[in-house]
Amino acid sequence: MKSVKYMVEDLVRKSRVLLYQGQYDLRDGVVQTEAWVKTMKWEGIEQFLNAERKIWKVNGELAGYVQNWKSLTNAVVLGAGHLLPTDQAVNSQVMIEDWVLERGSFKSVVQQEKVSGSSKLAVELSKINR
End-to-end CA distance of the chain: 65
At residue 60, the pLDDT reads 95
H/E segment holding residue 70: none
Spatial distance between the Cα atoms of 121 and 62, rounded to a whole number of angstroms? 33
pTM of the full predicted structure?
A: 0.81
Spatial distance between the Cα atoms of 112 and 115, rounded to a whole number of angstroms? 5
Domains of the chain in sequence order: 4-129 (3.40.50.12670)
Q: Give CA separation, 107 vs 29, 96, 110, 113, in Å.
A: 23, 12, 8, 10
Nearest Cα residue to 80 out of 90, 69, 70: 90
Residues 6+ apart with CB under 8 A from 12: 40, 42, 44, 71, 72
At residue 74, the pLDDT reads 97
Residues linked to residue 76 through DSSP beta bridges, in sequence order: 21, 65
pLDDT in tens, the chain (130 residues): 688 889 999 999 999 999 999 999 999 889 999 999 999 999 999 999 999 999 999 999 999 999 999 999 999 999 999 999 999 999 999 999 999 999 999 987 655 554 444 444 444 444 444 4
Query: Number of helices (H) and strands (E), helices first, in the chain?
Result: 6, 4
At residue 78, the pLDDT reads 97
At residue 115, the pLDDT reads 46
At residue 110, the pLDDT reads 59
